[in-house]
Amino acid sequence: MVDPDAYLRELRAELPELRVVHKERDPFSRALHVLVIVATFGAQRRFLDRYVTTIGRTIYLPRGFDERDPRARWVTLRHEAVHLRQFARLGVVPMTLLYLFPYFPLGLAWGRARIEWEAYAETFRATAEAYGPRAARDPKLREHVRRQFTTGAYGWMWPFPRTVDRWIDEVLAELDDPERG
């Protein structure tokens, strides 16, 4: 059963310092929104109302998150849980440096791409669990994830769509054969 509230309780049991913050009420998030717009030359303007962000032990939720379909919230929380565990494993400073640098030049941020890929792989797994394997293979999901890597959404972190497609194919093959994962 897919229950985002139960999943948050599980995450809090695993990570007792977990905080959940609504971006629109958070001055740090609003300031970060402006920085993201500037850093992406205006390409990423949906930070406050579309993107969930995890920094350290805090998940920052965009406007309307609580009104989303429970399965969609659960899938997103599974993605963000990967980032929570990455921060716990690597530490806040190393994770932040790996994520942000090299930010310039835009378009080739290997650290950010690898961090996000680990989380997007979980997005495909969670999508298969919440909606069924066909949903994980939906070309719209593939295109959405490809765009996250190759557009200003994350600062053009990986400009090689065929590489992203290969990563997606690998995780979809894992869904067919869990022994591969």
Q: Is residue 129 part of a domain?
A: yes
Q: In this predicted structure, what is the pLDDT of residue 179?
A: 67
**High-pLDDT (> 70) share of the chain, %:** 94
Q: Is residue 161 part of a domain?
A: yes
What is the reported pTM? 0.93
Tokens of 113: 């791409």
CB 89 within 8 A of CB 131: no
Q: Is residue 35 part of a domain?
A: yes
Q: In this predicted structure, what is the pLDDT of residue 107?
A: 61
Q: In this predicted structure, what is the pLDDT of residue 98?
A: 86
Non-local CB neighbours of 31 within 8 Å, separated by 6+ positions = none
Give residue 90's pLDDT band: very low, low, confident or very high (50, 70, 90).
very high
Tell whether the model's pLDDT for residue 9 goes beyond 90: yes
Domain total in the chain:
1
3-class SS string, the chain: CCCHHHHHHHHHHHCCCCEEEEHHHCHHHHHHHHHHHHHCCCCCCCCCCCCCEEECCEEEECCCHHHCCHHHHHHHHHHHHHHHHHHHHHCHHHHHHHHHCCCCCCCCCHHHHHHHHHHHHHHHHHHHHHHCHHHHCCHHHHHHHHHHHHCHHHCCCCCCHHHHHHHHHHHHHHHHCHHHC
Q: For 26-81, how does the pLDDT look when each residue is reduced to its tens digit (9 = 90+)?
A: 999 999 999 999 988 899 999 999 999 999 999 999 999 999 999 999 999 999 99
Q: Is residue 181 part of a domain?
A: no
Domain that holds residue 68: 4-176
Tell whether the model's pLDDT for residue 150 goes beyond 60: yes
Give residue 100's pLDDT band: very low, low, confident or very high (50, 70, 90).
confident
Tell whether the model's pLDDT for residue 106 goes beyond 60: no
Q: Is residue 89 part of a domain?
A: yes
Q: Is residue 43 part of a domain?
A: yes
Tell whether the model's pLDDT for residue 104 goes beyond 60: no
